[in-house]
Amino acid sequence: MPKIGVLALQGAFREHAEAFDALGADVVLIKHAEQFASIDAIVLPGGESTTQAKLLDTFAMRAPLADALAAGLGCFATCAGLILLATEVLDGRADQVPLGLLDVAVRRNGYGRQVMSFESALEIEGLHAPFTGVFIRAPRLVRVGDSVEVLARHDTHPVLVRRGRIWAAGFHPELADDLRLHQLFLHALTREDANP
């Protein structure tokens, strides 16, 4: 079973840790850059992307995280985590610099104030039955680069994307009471490790 680190600076990290733990993964909460070397994948949880970006800088974790991801560390990012990974953030704070590791443009709170939070049944590639997408002040993917595969859409907009070992969702699978997406990610990780 892979070792999954969950970035535990801010946001919904406990729910992700519980989900991967329930699936039998070896889970560790990540608070220092030194820990990146000992994990197979990192979870970037939902929360507040501006605060998370600041904390990464405060704890000198930004460059080590970007380097580890560029070198092949797996990643399961949700919501604010997706914003952190993007190459372009629209409606972000002026000083909000994303990691730029996933070639997508995201609009923060892109589903508008009137529907700040909603649920929707999503068809996800690799899952046989619909998955409940929980959207909470979700970012909207407004552009997806050629290197990025779309695994699910809501209406016409991508809401789950993947580039190799890096997965990112605009919604919160850790709040759906359904472990299938975490499990799909784990399976993909272990398959790739077996056939690099």
Q: Note the residues at the interface with ligand GLN (CB under 6 A).
A: 46-49, 79-80, 83, 108-109, 136-137
Q: How far is the CB of 174 from ligand GLN (least distance, A)?
A: 11
140 in helix, strand or coil? Answer: strand
123 is a catalytic site residue = no
75 is a catalytic site residue = no
18 is a catalytic site residue = no
State how far the Cα of 188 lies from the Cα of 51, in Å rounded to an integer. 30
Choose between 9 and 80: whose C-beta lies nearer to ligand GLN. 80
Choose between 40 and 84: whose C-beta lies nearer to ligand GLN. 84
Q: Are 91 and 106 in contact (CB under 8 A)?
A: no
Choose between 79 and 104: whose C-beta lies nearer to ligand GLN. 79
Which residue among the candidates 16, 75, 154, 172 is catalytic per the annotation? Answer: 172
Choose between 74 and 81: whose C-beta lies nearer to ligand GLN. 81
Q: Are 54 and 16 in contact (CB under 8 A)?
A: no
State how far the Cα of 187 lies from the Cα of 20, in Å rounded to an integer. 12
Please give the span between the terminal C-alpha atoms of the chain, in angstroms, as a whole number.
Answer: 16
Q: How far is the CB of 193 from ligand GLN (least distance, A)?
A: 29
Alpha helices in the chain (DSSP H): 13-22, 49-58, 62-70, 80-85, 180-194
Which residue among the candidates 15, 16, 79, 154 is catalytic per the annotation? Answer: 79
Q: How far is the CB of 26 from ligand GLN (least distance, A)?
A: 25
Residues annotated as catalytic (active site), given as ranges: 79, 172, 174
